Amino acid sequence: MGFSLYQWADDRLKLKPIEQTLLDEPIPGGASWNYVFGSATLFLFVLQAITGMCLSIYYVPSPDHAYDTVQYIQNDVWFGWFIRGLHHWGASAVILAVGLHMLQVFFDGAYKRPREMMWMVGVVLLLLMLGFGFTGYLLPWDQNAYWATQVGINMAGTTPVIGDFLVRVLRGGDTLGALTLSRFFAIHVIILPAIIMVGIMLHLFILRRVGPAGPHDDARATQHSETFYPRQVYMDAVVMLIVFLIVATLAYAVEFPLADKADPSDHSFIPVPEWYFLFHYQLLKYAPGPLVPYASWALPALFILCLFALPFLDRNPERIPATRPRILGSGLAFLVAVFALLGVSLRDLYAVPKTDPAIANGQALVEKFACKTCHRIHGDGENIAPDLSYVADRRPEREWHIRHFKDPQSVSPGSFMPKFPLTDSQLNDLTSYVLTLKSGGHP
Amino acid sequence: MEVETPVSAQHHESGTSTPVGTRRSFFTRVTAIIASFIGISMAVPILGYVVAPAFHRRKKEWVPVSAIDDLPLHEPQALDYTVTIKDGWHETKSTKGVWAIKHSQDEVTVFSPICPHLGCGFRWDGQDRLFKCPCHGSIYDLKGSVQAGPAPRPLDSLPMKVENGQLMVIYKEFKSGLSEQVEL
């Protein structure tokens, strides 16, 4: 049936020549596991596009609702946690895949003539990917999203002359708020996808016009070649399967909970950027006052510029790695610097257990409102009302505690707990503290 | 990386080779299996994700409307209370009202406040001890039975229970104008 349908369409549309052009592309030197990184990147991009479309079914880009909708996706929609997990881990994976793809091209000297344009379009694609990462990070509208974006935007503000204006444009005004969220949403789901689609097509168009680079020495490349289909396609498929299994396993096994809802008044929150921005985040710690602008924008700008112009900076036509010690050495030096910074940053982050300041505030409120006049917490306090030592085991839902503090009888009829006059932030802090009262966890 | 020459390969004039025979069908088959696996692994969750709300029925919840001790015996009371209505992630508050008549500490009749005739709100006439609808003149007694007027059925009573001294009710609405009760 499938075959005859293809025949039927082929009779009319003459598909055979197109099929041949697509599948019989000669690969110099034959198919190789070295060439899978581009396909893996494209696969992950498609996965991001599909999961992103799914998320947009329920997501609402407004400060009133963004957080609730993401929580709804996470907790209430069938497979919502899985789709969101795929999108979250897929974002990291696609950056990693782009990095490996670039490394392979860099190491093999595949950016050299006649493939300069393919490399340059590739660098633009990298920037677009980072743009996706930056704009997407804000959308869940939790504390981390809000404060990490605040820092990111302020970094753009160190650009000379246009810095302030740039910040106002990014934010859509004076403060990070409703207008920022909606423009980040539009950039993330409409503008960047449209641009990157053109970029990807251009990248592939150039590939097909120039052809793959193949082995380092021309003698071997011309000696023998192999069609793209079926062996390279098979290798690409195997790698896609591995990549998919890794991302799906992470989405399945590693929970990625939301932080608290964004609170613009809580300046004590310490945001952490995504791991692929961490090395730069660490670099900023070493830049003393007057050097900040250089570290925050000049250095990255210079690096991107060098990367973009690489095919013209490296004029050595030779592709064999052994004959290019200087350029490969500088690449290695860059990698060592990046991973050293990343390593130091990760060590710092995990050395100090991150505690939400809300928890400490909440603990102070327990004393302030004399909760222990009735409740006992880990042996301290009176035994009149329920023991709260492990209350989060019984009541893990934040929403329940908020409602309970606001009006105890509404969720626990017959309770004699009084209504305490709590402000919204006190309510949040107290709930954050109460939620730490569980077996295995202590504040 | 060293690339082995395919065992069975078809050579074009240009020096380009392509695997043939069982080798070729092996690559094709593995590729197809992987594509199907990834496709199905994505299609199933996505389908569930998209259709999930279609299977979601709005839950009718028990809502406390009054402390049982606050209700006078045999005297209908109009009780207003607030319910939270969940529409997906969107929560709204809505005020509802019901009529409650306490017969004993755990026996209460609760009536929907909507006249079964054409949906007006009826009132309690304390002097005549009858419910009267001002729109078309339907009249009901304390048990909700029709005493006069065009009403096609008795007043709609709502599910109730008494828990921890609280009167709990499930709010429902019914089609008006029918002789039998049809829930909306």
Give A82's contacts in chain B (Cβ within 8 Å). Answer: 45
More confident position, B14 or A290: A290
Instruction: Please count the residue pairs, one from chain A and one from chain B, whose beta carbons lie less than 8 angstroms apart.
Output: 112
Sorting pLDDT into bands at 50, 70 and 90, what band is B43? very high
Q: Which of A29, A54, A230 sits opposite B31 (nearest CB)?
A: A230
Q: Across residues A400-418, what is the average pLDDT?
A: 85
Predicted confidence at residue A354, as pLDDT, reads 57
Give per-residue pLDDT as tens, A191-217: 999 999 999 999 999 999 998 988 887
Closest of A402, A371, A404 to residue A388, by C-alpha: A371
CA distance A346 to A369: 38
Closest of A39, A93, A42 to residue A232, by C-alpha: A39
Q: Edge-to-edge strands of the sheet including B77-87?
A: B77-87, B90-104, B107-111
Q: Across residues A270-295, what is the average pLDDT?
A: 85
Q: Which of A320-329, A430-439, B147-156 has the lowest mean pLDDT?
A: A430-439
Q: Inter-chain contact A226–B18, Cβ cutoff 8 Å?
A: yes
What are the boundaries of each domain within chain A? 26-351, 357-434
Is B147 part of the contact surface with chain A (CB cutoff 8 Å)?
no
What is the rounded average pLDDT for all residues in chain A?
89
Give B35's contacts in chain A (Cβ within 8 Å). Answer: 237
% of residues, chain A, pLDDT over 70:
97
Report whether pLDDT(A413) > 90.
no
- The residues pairing with B168 across neighbouring beta strands, listed in sequence order, are B64, B161
Report whether pLDDT(B13) > 70.
no
Predicted confidence at residue A399, as pLDDT, reads 85
List Cα–Cα distances, A70 to A9, A56, A249, A259, B89, in angstroms: 43, 10, 21, 11, 9
Q: Residues 55 to 114 of A: which have CB under 8 A from any B CB?
A: 57-58, 60, 65, 68-69, 71-72, 76-80, 82-83
Report whether pLDDT(B7) > 80.
no
Predicted confidence at residue A2, as pLDDT, reads 57
Amino acid code (one letter) for B63: V
Predicted confidence at residue A127, as pLDDT, reads 97
Give A76's contacts in chain B (Cβ within 8 Å). Answer: 52, 88-89
Predicted confidence at residue A49, as pLDDT, reads 98
- Select the residue from A223, A241, A406, A415 to test the B interface by mutation, using most B Cβ atoms within 10 A: A241
Give A79's contacts in chain B (Cβ within 8 Å). Answer: 45-46, 48-49, 52
Nearest-Cα distance to chain A for B7, in Å, is: 13
Sorting pLDDT into bands at 50, 70 and 90, what band is A439? low
CA distance A156 to A170: 9
Q: Inter-chain contact A225–B15, Cβ cutoff 8 Å?
A: yes
Chain B: residue whose CA lies nearest to A86: B42
Q: Inter-chain contact A65–B90, Cβ cutoff 8 Å?
A: yes
Q: Residues 116 to 145 of B: which have CB under 8 A from any A CB?
A: none
Find where tokens 């197809």 sit: B32
Chain A: residue whose CA lies nearest to B43: A50
Is B8 part of the contact surface with chain A (CB cutoff 8 Å)?
no
Sorting pLDDT into bands at 50, 70 and 90, what band is A178? very high
The answer to whether the CB of B119 falls within 8 A of the CB of B176 is: yes
Predicted confidence at residue A390, as pLDDT, reads 78
Q: Inter-chain contact A80–B90, Cβ cutoff 8 Å?
A: no
CA distance A240 to B49: 23
Give B52's contacts in chain A (Cβ within 8 Å). Answer: 76-80
Predicted confidence at residue B1, as pLDDT, reads 42
CA distance A441 to A410: 28
Predicted confidence at residue A268, as pLDDT, reads 74
Q: Residues 217 to 236 of A: which have CB under 8 A from any B CB?
A: 222-227, 229-231, 233-234
Predicted confidence at residue A223, as pLDDT, reads 81
% of residues, chain B, pLDDT over 70:
92
Report whether pLDDT(A365) > 90.
no
Is B87 part of the contact surface with chain A (CB cutoff 8 Å)?
no
Closest of B113, B93, B99 to residue B66, by C-alpha: B99
Chain B: residue whose CA lies nearest to A66: B89
Q: Where are the beta strands (DSSP E) in A156-216?
A: none
Q: Which of A26, A78, A227 sits opposite B49 (nearest CB)?
A: A78
Closest of A90, A84, A30, A44 to residue A240, by C-alpha: A44
Sorting pLDDT into bands at 50, 70 and 90, what band is A443? very low
Q: Residues 198 to 217 of A: which have CB under 8 A from any B CB?
A: none
Chain A: residue whose CA lies nearest to B25: A230
Q: Inter-chain contact B34–A68, Cβ cutoff 8 Å?
A: no
Give per-residue pLDDT as tens, A305-320: 999 999 999 988 889 8
Name A41's Cβ contacts closer than 8 Å, sequence gap at least 6. A94, A97, A98, A101
Chain B: residue whose CA lies nearest to A34: B1
Give A321's contacts in chain B (Cβ within 8 Å). Answer: none
Predicted confidence at residue B87, as pLDDT, reads 84
Report whether pLDDT(B26) > 70.
yes
Give A50's contacts in chain B (Cβ within 8 Å). Answer: 42, 46
Please give the DSSP secondary-structure letter assigned to residue A294. I
Q: Inter-chain contact B16–A226, Cβ cutoff 8 Å?
A: yes
Predicted confidence at residue A440, as pLDDT, reads 52
Nearest-Cα distance to chain B for A439, in Å, is: 30
Angle at A294 between CA A293 and CA A300, to 5 degrees: 110
Closest of B171, B170, B167 to residue B66, by C-alpha: B167
Give B165's contacts in chain A (Cβ within 8 Å). Answer: 413-414
Q: What is the pTM of this model?
A: 0.76
CA distance A291 to A284: 9
The top-scoring range by mean pLDDT among A361-365, A376-380, B27-31, B102-106 is B27-31
Predicted confidence at residue A351, as pLDDT, reads 66
Give per-residue pLDDT as tens, A103-139: 999 999 999 999 999 999 999 999 999 999 999 999 9
Q: Across residues A273-291, what is the average pLDDT?
A: 87
Q: Across residues B4-22, what is the average pLDDT?
A: 67
CA distance A22 to B9: 19
More confident position, A230 or A256: A230
Task: Please give the CATH number for the structural domain made up of A26-351.
Answer: 1.20.810.10
Give B19's contacts in chain A (Cβ within 8 Å). Answer: 230-231
- The residues pairing with B109 across neighbouring beta strands, listed in sequence order, are B101
Q: Is A214 helix (H, G, I), strand (E, B) or coil?
A: coil
Give A234's contacts in chain B (Cβ within 8 Å). Answer: 27-28, 30-31
Q: Edge-to-edge strands of the sheet including A225-227?
A: A26-28, A225-227, B16-19, B9-11
The answer to whether the CB of B28 falls within 8 A of the CB of B135 is: no
Global ipTM: 0.75
Angle at A19 between CA A15 and CA A21, to 5 degrees: 120
CA distance A390 to A309: 60
Q: Is B84 helix (H, G, I), strand (E, B) or coil?
A: strand
Q: Inter-chain contact B89–A68, Cβ cutoff 8 Å?
A: yes
Predicted confidence at residue A353, as pLDDT, reads 57
Predicted confidence at residue A1, as pLDDT, reads 52
Nearest-Cα distance to chain A for B61, in Å, is: 13
Q: Across residues B95-121, what is the average pLDDT?
A: 89
Closest of B105, B96, B104 to residue B158, by C-alpha: B96
Task: Please give the CATH number for the structural domain made up of A357-434.
Answer: 1.10.760.10
Nearest-Cα distance to chain B for A46, in Å, is: 12
For residues A335, A337, A338, A343, the Cα torsion angle rounded to the nearest 10 degrees is 120
Closest of A93, A138, A393 to residue A245, by C-alpha: A93
% of residues, chain B, pLDDT over 90:
32
Chain A: residue whose CA lies nearest to B15: A224
Strand B16-19 and strand B63-67: the pairing is: unpaired
Q: Is A381 helix (H, G, I), strand (E, B) or coil?
A: coil
Amino acid code (one letter) for A131: G
